[in-house]
């Protein structure tokens, strides 16, 4: 079996199947990829473009070709000594529609369904209308209106021989316990035998045999064409809305308008998506049922490893990963003989804060690489640009005067109040249950707990914590303490006792009962033992564990929705830092800090994945790299935007005074207000009275600059129109995700139209000599610097410790935007043709076609293939750059303890101010002056640059004017030399 060295992510759907992938295996093999990395392969909702809405864990998706086509793909991979890693989705399934059998079963039988505990449903809702039921929030309008409009109808499913309620594509089975009364309502004599069969049928599990027998009689009845009119009579008898309503009220589901979900849903969702229901994979039977196919495919040698989607949504991520690792290890001996050498790769999708290390006790190889994407992306930015860009952004009309962190807190409050209110109530109820268990705390009210809980969640600095056996670890406490102090600053003094009490209930090791409310108010004391411990029982362990779980399942989506899906669309200081897994308030990372986090990854997770593009990124890797140049020229950018705003002011639409949401979420700083007091286009409070407002306009310019294709000319009307359509889709999503003047719940058509019309106007053919020409000119002036940034992050991804991950199509330039733009079809024929184009150095002159990037990837992957232990598990050594241009380069060495091989990666950085408006993405040798790469004795050898085929003799230092003469990056290898490094490294490390 080929060890995992690198992956190529492919997005499968019915437009790109296993057969399509099989036709590309030879291309990826020639590129140097060791494993394909597939989006989910289990059966998803019909027509799914991503596969994360699984409806059947037990079957390979037939839309992708099914298991037979998967087998043919794997056979071709094996023929090229390649493997397959698949994405799995244990956290949630797709619901709604008519294809999830488990979901349909709980709609039918409620909490007595055999799958009732598979889903994370609260069957004991405090709402009497939902007790023992599930909310089904799939109606396009209020229930009463849809019912009266007869959009909700009773139907007959001849295939399953069952009655169900139909609403568009959705199906809601009627419980068989109601069939007898339905037959009576129809008053059809032919139904009399069936009435007897279903009479007094119960919904308990012990009633299921009788229900099955009755169902078979109904099926036989329905196959007789002469009796079909009797079944039609049942449908006619329930056509009247009032009759159908009475039937619906007796079901184990409650149909509801989709907008009710945020406030009333009684099951855990994936974030706030009501089409995805949370799974209780912590239960052994659910774990086995949802992983049976994956385990079988692994044991059979059809797949080699897994990537776990959204691990933070699970009840206990650590325990889940440990269980998954154990099962894969157990199955390893069952695999075909040639596939048993390597353990299964196991990585998790995990968002980490900059000061949050990945836990080392999960049994995983690491994360999927969002942390690396953040780190290498920040490395491209100039820290000196942070302050002037922040000042520029805050001065724009419509921009918030708050810091990014303050905006994130505000957005979290908004998410909890508007999008996740039901989840807040669920967590509060779990804590309130603990309070009621102890007579010392039973008077703690639901409202007080909710108030304090909300502040804890708002101030939580990471996605979640990972307690063990109901107790927080020291690492958990580090983050929990920060949340507690942030909450303390916002709460009344009267809430202090509750603040500490929740600390104990949520895994703290202190006094769990704490002080009673009466004591806190001076109304008395709580009896305690002589030792100071509470005299009354502490919360039951199962209740505290449940509270910890739902708390963690609340902090995670709150952080994601507030930051990634809200503030990242509000805060426009520099969009290249508004990325999944990144903190936009941290604009840059120094080489020293990059070396530090990379060395830690090499030590703790040498097989973690390294990615710079994903199916979820907000901007393509080369879009971000180009925008990073702005951090080096903040004053020029501010002046450019000011000029464009003046140039395009004529295309703005006067704002309707009745737009009540015009200032929602926005604050204007005193400085920016005073600077606009004489502008007739602004209101008295400094807000621009035309749409789009300046802040939105500026973010639009950033998007245009970042995504403008290198080969697009302003004279190409059709090309500009196509580009504009892509940007328009991004703009709509950006406006709605920002949730300021429009959103997905209540779109503001007038505002969105004004913004859309503005975009079309500034990209119109008439603007070729105006804005359109200036946009292309500006992009052309920074494009070369952006390309250097792109090649820098490409090399670092390929040479850093870990598994290099390639997202489909990004072998060439990737100037994509957020999905669905980043999931467009890929022209693999173009990439296949570029494979034999030549060496990287020889392709630099034609850098705009992107072939130089592909050639670098191929050359680096070839070196990884020849020396896999060098890059996956090899030592990492930061190297020093000395000289007048030391801040414009970064370098490190890789050393293998297995075969003595070494490599040195060198990359130009911060090229914007050095290149100026140069057309070629390379710093001239003369500009490097006497800047040199210091070569420690440990790695001193004869090297050859595999990207430029240039040899360097062993020396104490190498001039960057030579190392980076042919390309802005270099990858030096000592292969073929008579090095004694292997013995030296082993001797110095004590491993001889």
Same domain, residue pair 212 and 85 = no
Facing residues of 803 across strands?
A: 609
Average confidence (pLDDT) over 304-308: 98
Same domain, residue pair 228 and 301 = no
CATH number at residue 121: 3.30.1590.10
Are 172 and 107 spatial neighbours (Cβ–Cβ below 8 Å)?
A: yes
Q: What is the model's pLDDT at position 687?
A: 54
Asked which of 496-500, 925-929, 984-988 is least confident by mean pLDDT, the reply is 984-988
Average confidence (pLDDT) over 726-737: 98
Look at residue 517 and tell me whether its pLDDT is greater than 80: no
CATH number at residue 53: 3.20.20.80
Q: What is the model's pLDDT at position 523?
A: 36
Q: What is the model's pLDDT at position 83?
A: 98
Same domain, residue pair 258 and 303 = no
Q: What is the model's pLDDT at position 703?
A: 98
Average confidence (pLDDT) over 921-945: 97
Look at residue 526 and tell me whether its pLDDT is greater than 50: no
- Quick: pLDDT tens for 366-382: 999 999 999 999 999 99
Same domain, residue pair 308 and 241 = no
pLDDT classification of 768: cutoffs 50, 70, 90: very high
- Quick: pLDDT tens for 659-675: 544 443 333 332 232 23
Same domain, residue pair 843 and 969 = yes
Same domain, residue pair 846 and 979 = yes
Domain that holds residue 911: 839-989
Look at residue 274 and tell me whether its pLDDT is greater than 60: yes
- Quick: pLDDT tens for 600-628: 999 999 999 999 999 999 999 999 999 99
- Quick: pLDDT tens for 776-817: 999 999 999 999 999 999 999 999 999 999 999 999 999 999
Look at residue 537 and tell me whether its pLDDT is greater than 60: no
3-class secondary structure per residue, 620-663: CHHHHHHHHHHHHCHHHHHHHHHHHHHHHHHHCEECCCCCCCCC
Same domain, residue pair 485 and 530 = yes
Instruction: Let me know how many helices (H) and strands (E) the chain has, helices first.
Output: 38, 29
Q: What is the model's pLDDT at position 979?
A: 42
What mean pLDDT is reported for the chain?
92
- Quick: pLDDT tens for 25-83: 999 999 999 999 999 999 999 999 999 999 999 999 999 999 999 999 999 999 999 99
**Where a domain ends, among 528, 546, 568?**
568
- Quick check: is 156 in a domain? yes
- Quick check: is 803 in a domain? no
Look at residue 564 and tell me whether its pLDDT is greater than 50: yes
Same domain, residue pair 105 and 248 = yes
Interatomic CA distance for residues 691 and 851, integer angstroms: 41
Average confidence (pLDDT) over 826-847: 96
Q: What is the model's pLDDT at position 2?
A: 84
Average confidence (pLDDT) over 627-639: 98
Same domain, residue pair 224 and 80 = no
pLDDT classification of 532: cutoffs 50, 70, 90: very low
Look at residue 159 and tell me whether its pLDDT is greater than 70: yes
pLDDT classification of 226: cutoffs 50, 70, 90: confident
Q: What is the model's pLDDT at position 598?
A: 98
Look at residue 596 and tell me whether its pLDDT is greater than 90: yes
**Where a domain ends, among 314, 332, 349?**
349
DSSP label at residue 57:
E
- Quick check: is 375 in a domain? no
Interatomic CA distance for residues 190 and 231, integer angstroms: 9
Instruction: Please state the pTM of the whole predicted model.
Output: 0.92
For 96-113, b where at least 16 C-beta lie within 10 A, e where not — what string?
A: bbbbbebbbbbbbbbbbb
Same domain, residue pair 260 and 293 = no
> Within the chain, what is the greatest distance between any pair of CA atoms?
101
932-934/957-959 β-pairing: antiparallel
Look at residue 238 and tell me whether its pLDDT is greater than 60: yes
pLDDT classification of 584: cutoffs 50, 70, 90: very high
Q: What is the model's pLDDT at position 510?
A: 52
Average confidence (pLDDT) over 313-335: 98
Percent of the chain with pLDDT over 70: 92
**Where a domain ends, among 303, 322, 349?**
349
Percent of the chain with pLDDT over 90: 89
- Quick: pLDDT tens for 80-109: 999 999 999 999 999 999 999 999 999 999
All residues at 6 or more sequence positions from 659 whose CB lies less than 8 Å from its CB, including other chains: 741, 748, 750, 751
What's the structural domain count of the chain? Answer: 4
Average confidence (pLDDT) over 232-253: 97
Interatomic CA distance for residues 259 and 245, integer angstroms: 20
All residues at 6 or more sequence positions from 78 whose CB lies less than 8 Å from its CB, including other chains: none
- In angstroms, the Cα distances linking 687 to 467, 739, 874 are 47, 18, 56
């Amino acid at each position: 079996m080929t060890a995992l060295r690198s992956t190529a992510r492919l997005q499968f759907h019915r437009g790109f199947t296993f057969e399509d992938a099989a036709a590309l295996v030879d291309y990826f093999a020639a590129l140097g990829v060791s494993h394909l990395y597939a989006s989910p392969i289990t059966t998803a909702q019909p027509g799914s473009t991503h596969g994360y809405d699984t409806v059947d864990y037990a079957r390979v998706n037939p839309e992708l070709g099914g298991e037979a086509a998967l087998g043919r793909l794997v056979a071709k991979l094996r023929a090229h000594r390649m493997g397959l890693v698949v994405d799995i989705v244990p956290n949630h399934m797709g619901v709604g529609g008519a294809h999830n059998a488990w979901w349909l079963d709980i709609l039918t039988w409620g909490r007595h369904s055999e799958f009732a505990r598979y889903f994370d449903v609260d069957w004991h809702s405090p709402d009497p209308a939902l007790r023992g039921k599930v909310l089904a929030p799939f109606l396009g309008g209020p229930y009463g209106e849809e019912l009266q409009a007869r959009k909700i109808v009773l139907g007959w499913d001849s295939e399953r021989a069952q009655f169900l309620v139909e609403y568009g594509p959705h199906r809601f089975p009627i419980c068989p316990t109601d069939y007898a009364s339905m037959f009576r309502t129809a008053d059809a004599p032919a139904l009399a035998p069936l009435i007897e069969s279903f009479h007094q049928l119960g919904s308990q599990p012990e009633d299921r045999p009788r229900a099955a027998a009755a169902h078979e009689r109904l099926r036989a009845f329905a196959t007789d064409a002469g009796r079909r009119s009797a079944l039609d009579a049942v449908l006619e008898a329930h056509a009247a809305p009032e009759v159908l309503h009475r039937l619906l009220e007796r079901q184990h589901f409650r149909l509801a308008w989709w907008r009710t979900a945020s406030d009333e849903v009684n099951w855990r969702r994936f974030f706030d998506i009501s089409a995805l229901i949370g799974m209780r994979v912590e239960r052994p039977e659910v774990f086995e049922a949802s992983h049976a196919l994956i385990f079988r495919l692994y044991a059979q040698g059809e797949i080699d490893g897994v990537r776990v989607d959204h691990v933070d949504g699970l009840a206990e991520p650590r325990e889940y990963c440990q269980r998954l690792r154990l099962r894969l290890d157990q199955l390893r001996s069952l695999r075909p003989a040639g596939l048993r050498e390597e353990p299964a790769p196991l990585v998790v999708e995990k968002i980490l804060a900059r000061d949050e290390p990945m836990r080392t006790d999960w049994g995983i190889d690491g994360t999927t690489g969002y942390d690396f994407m953040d780190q290498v992306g920040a490395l491209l930015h100039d820290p000196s640009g942070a302050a002037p860009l922040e000042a520029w952004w805050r001065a724009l009309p419509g921009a918030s005067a708050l810091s990014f962190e303050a905006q994130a807190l505000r957005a979290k409050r908004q998410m909890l109040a508007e999008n996740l209110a039901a989840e807040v109530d669920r967590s509060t109820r779990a804590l309130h249950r603990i309070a009621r268990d102890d007579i010392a705390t039973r008077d703690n009210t639901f409202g007080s707990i909710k108030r304090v809980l909300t502040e804890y969640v708002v101030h939580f600095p990471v996605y979640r914590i990972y307690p063990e056996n109901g107790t927080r670890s020291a690492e958990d406490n580090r983050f929990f303490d920060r949340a507690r102090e942030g909450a303390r600053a916002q709460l009344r003094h009267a809430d202090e006792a509750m603040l500490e009490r929740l600390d104990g209930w949520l895994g703290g090791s202190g006094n769990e009962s704490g002080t009673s409310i009466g004591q806190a108010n001076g109304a008395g004391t709580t009896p305690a033992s002589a030792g100071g411990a509470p005299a009354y029982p502490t919360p039951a362990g199962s209740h505290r564990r449940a509270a910890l779980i739902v708390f963690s399942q609340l902090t995670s989506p709150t952080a994601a929705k507030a930051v990634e899906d809200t503030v990242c669309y509000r805060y426009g200081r520099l969009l290249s830092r508004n990325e999944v897994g990144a903190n936009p308030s941290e604009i840059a990372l120094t080489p020293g800090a990059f070396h530090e986090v990379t060395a830690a990854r090499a030590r703790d997770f040498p097989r973690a994945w390294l990615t710079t593009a994903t199916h979820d990124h907000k901007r393509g890797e080369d879009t971000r790299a180009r925008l990073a140049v702005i951090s080096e020229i903040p004053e020029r950018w501010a002046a450019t935007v000011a000029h464009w705003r003046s140039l395009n002011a004529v295309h703005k639409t006067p704002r309707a005074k009745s737009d009540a949401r015009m200032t929602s979420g926005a604050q204007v700083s005193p400085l920016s207000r005073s600077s606009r007091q004489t502008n007739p286009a602004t209101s008295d409070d400094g807000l621009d009275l035309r749409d789009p407002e300046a802040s939105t306009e500026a973010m639009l310019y950033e998007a245009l600059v970042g995504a403008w294709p290198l080969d697009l000319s302003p004279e190409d009307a059709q090309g500009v129109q196509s580009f504009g359509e892509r940007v328009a889709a991004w703009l709509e999503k950006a406006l709605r995700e920002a949730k300021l003047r429009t959103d997905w719940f209540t779109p503001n058509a007038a505002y969105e139209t004004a913004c859309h019309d503005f975009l079309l106007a500034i990209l119109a053919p008439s603007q070729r000599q105006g804005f359109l020409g200036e946009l292309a000119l500006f992009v052309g002036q920074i494009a070369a610097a952006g390309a250097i940034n792109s090649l820098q992050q490409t090399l670092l991804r390929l040479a850093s410790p870990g598994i290099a991950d390639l997202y489909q199509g990004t072998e060439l330039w990737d100037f994509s935007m957020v999905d669905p733009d980043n999931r467009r079809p890929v022209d693999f024929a173009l990439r296949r043709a570029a494979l034999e184009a030549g060496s990287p150095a020889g392709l630099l002159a034609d850098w705009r076609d992107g072939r130089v990037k592909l050639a670098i990837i191929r050359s680096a992957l070839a070196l990884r293939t020849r020396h896999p232990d060098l890059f996956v598990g090899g030592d990492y050594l930061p190297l020093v750059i000395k000289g007048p241009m030391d801040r414009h380069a970064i370098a490190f060495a890789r050393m293998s303890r297995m075969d003595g091989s070494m490599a040195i990666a060198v990359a130009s950085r911060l090229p914007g101010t050095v290149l100026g408006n140069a057309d070629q993405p390379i710093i001239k040798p003369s500009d490097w002056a006497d800047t040199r790469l210091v070569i420690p004795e440990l790695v001193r050898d004869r090297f050859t640059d595999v990207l430029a085929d240039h040899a360097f003799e062993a020396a104490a230092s190498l001039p960057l004017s030579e190392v980076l003469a042919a390309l802005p990056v270099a990858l030096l290898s000592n292969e073929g030399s008579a090095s004694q490094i292997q013995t030296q490294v082993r001797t110095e490390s004590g491993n001889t």
